[in-house]
Amino acid sequence: MLREIDGALEELDKVEDDAVVYRNLGEILIKSDKDTVKSDLTEKKETFDLRLKTIERQEERVQKRFQQLQEQVRQALGGPGGGMAV
């Protein structure tokens, strides 16, 4: 989705300021001005970037927690090999 938005923003930069621009609204296209479409796309991109960063931070925390739990299980089973065949 971010690539699509980036591509659309790049294409908008190429067209004249007074060019006829359409934006997607559900299953129909609505005539709009370039600045409005560009503003909407920029806002969507910022929202997606923020969501992506949030998910990346959550993933980091989950991975750290997984490693902690994995180490606790190892220790509970008696050391690095756990004393048991896996």
- For residue 55, the model assigns a pLDDT of 98
- For residue 82, the model assigns a pLDDT of 56
- For residue 83, the model assigns a pLDDT of 54
- For residue 66, the model assigns a pLDDT of 98
β-strands 21-25, 28-32: how paired?
Answer: antiparallel
- 30, containing H or E segment: strand 28-32
Strand partners, 81: none
Question: What would the two tokens of residue 67 be?
Answer: 């490693």
Q: What is the pLDDT along the chain (86 residues), one digit of tens a residue?
A: 889 999 999 999 999 988 899 998 899 999 999 999 999 999 999 999 999 999 999 999 999 999 999 999 999 998 665 555 54
Strand partners, 71: none
> Domain segments of the chain: what residues?
2-76
Q: CATH number for 2-76: choose from 1.10.287.370, 1.20.120.1200, 1.10.760.10, 3.90.1150.10.
A: 1.10.287.370
